[in-house]
Structure 1
């Protein structure tokens, strides 16, 4: 059962969890989320998790859900959300824009920072593919709050990526008709012209240049998005920046092929990174 975030905060104030716990929340504007709390009273470091375009909070192959559980075992809490219009969250999928995605990320940050048992001075962010852009822009907007940033198979240029993957005809049809159906490969969805217009309003490299905290990007060696890695590494303003390549991995680290899945490697590296940059102990 989904629990309104205000009610959750009140109950948490009375009794913090004595064991690892997964809680369903409904945040502002009908955003559905999962809060993963480690065992013990805290306060815990915590990580915000942002899914890719067309996906939802547990991500492909449940890789976000598995990452959240592994972080919890290491004393790191997490909050993963469904962007509005995706998963269980309210809103029209077709009305998705970069601005709305960034607003949702800000709402998630406020909710997590206010949660009892969470140390607001030790919050990180991570994003997968298109959702990596949300993590980057949140870190740029709130460098005071985001202390570590990890991106998986990240987009590096919203408009260039959509042009490359969808072709200019989709942009033209959206401009002509106001809405267009797009095939993402694993699902189809309708997107309004506002989505395509919003792509050019956001420069991810300029955003990353405003964030000086620890940064790590993770790609499979066969991921076409790996082409963004040099530019992202050059743009990152901090000294502690790393690029990890998972040999033989594709864009989703072969999570749909259990015998070839590299999810374990990605999760282990990510948990280790947050453990080192958001230490669980005082």
Structure 2
């Protein structure tokens, strides 16, 4: 099926930059909102979201992938990032997606990667009838504990003392205010999953023990009977996409496409 991609500007101040990918037809289509992970962008690592968007469109499913404010091409300052603001962006993007004339608002799903998965869960908990299906890739769960481990207690302490901190992640540097660190403790995706009663898919690599455990806990805690857990041997947090071997990343994209086709029919 043919498809078209278009850059769009979302939110009250049009600061959120996104890409809409839609099949070319005369129908109203199901569609998915894609939420990237921490310090990432709308196409995601290894272009996995961009590739997924095309895979979905070929199956007759549209999508919107966004840069959260302060990241990628979107306006705003990354230092102003909080979980509250990520959630605001997700809700603004979902509202925009549902408003498009080529989208069937009764068949909209959501997918998040890593921290984006936690934001997806929180968004669904706020709007429990909005999303007909959900997929979580390498999901975050206990936000404060996870970031305390990954970013280091010293950076938490520095931000608390000085108001903000700049951290070298290895692939890029990020500057975060203390408000980001405080916001991590304000939300519980583990509780949010109990409010989502529609189909749930969770995928993680077994080499990423925290995400694998999180994925299992989400699936076990989900209220729906239609749920699936995929744990992939020899896969890391980003499904080995940066190794040059895209075999596992391709599998994740294909499994997700099948799930969305099944649950949004």
SS of the residue corresponding to residue 156 of structure 1 reads: coil
CA distance in 2, matches of 1:240, 1:111: 27
SS in 2 for 1:268: helix
| SS in structure 2 of the partner of residue 256 of structure 1 | helix
- 1:9-48 equivalences under 5 Å are 19-28=2-11, 29=13, 30-48=15-33
Of 196, 205, 209, which residue of structure 1 is paired with 2:194? 209
Equivalent runs, 1:1-282 vs 2, <5 Å: 19-28=2-11, 29=13, 30-224=15-209, 225-259=211-245, 261-279=247-265
Inter-CA distance 234–89: structure 2 relative to 1 (3 Å threshold): same
CA contact (8 A) 2:136 2:215 kept: no
Runs (5+) with no aligned partner, structure 1: 1-17
CA contact under 8 A between 2:201 and 2:227: conserved in structure 1? Answer: yes
* Worse overlay, 22-31 or 181-190: 181-190
Between Structure 1 and Structure 2, how many residues are aligned? Answer: 262
Superimposed CA distance per residue, residues 7-50 of structure 1 (whole angstroms, 9 cap, x where no aligned partner): xxxxxxxxxxx951101001123100000001211200000000
The answer (yes or no) to whether the contact 2:138–2:215 under 8 Å persists in 1 is no
For 1:262 and 1:41, the matched residues in 2 are separated by: 34
CA–CA separation in structure 2 for the residues paired with 1:264 and 1:230: 21
Alignment deviations for residues 143-187 of structure 1 (CA, whole Å, 9 cap, x no partner): 211010001000011101001112211111110000011233321
User: C-alpha distance in 2, partners of 1:270/1:259?
Assistant: 19
CA RMSD, Structure 1 to Structure 2 (Å): 1.3
Q: Which shows bigger deviation, 263-272 or 244-253?
A: 244-253
TM-fit CA distance, 1:228: 1.6
Q: By how many angstroms is 1:261 displaced?
A: 4.1
Taking structure 1 as the reference length, what is the TM-score of the superposition? 0.90
Q: Secondary structure at the match of 2:243?
A: coil
What is the rounded CA distance, in whole Å, between the counterparts of 1:260 and 1:21 in structure 2? 24
Distance, in Å, in 1 between the alignment partners of 2:170 and 2:63 is 29
User: Runs of 5+ in structure 2 lacking a partner?
Assistant: none
SS in 2 for 1:186: coil
Q: Which residue does the alignment assign to 1:5?
A: none
Structure 1 residues 43 and 260, CA, compared in 2 at 3 Å: closer, same or farther? Answer: closer
Structure 1 segments, 4+ long, off by >4 Å, are none
Output the CA distance in 1 between the equivalents of 2:246 and 2:42. Answer: 23
Aligned equivalents of 1:101, 1:226: Cα separation in 2: 23
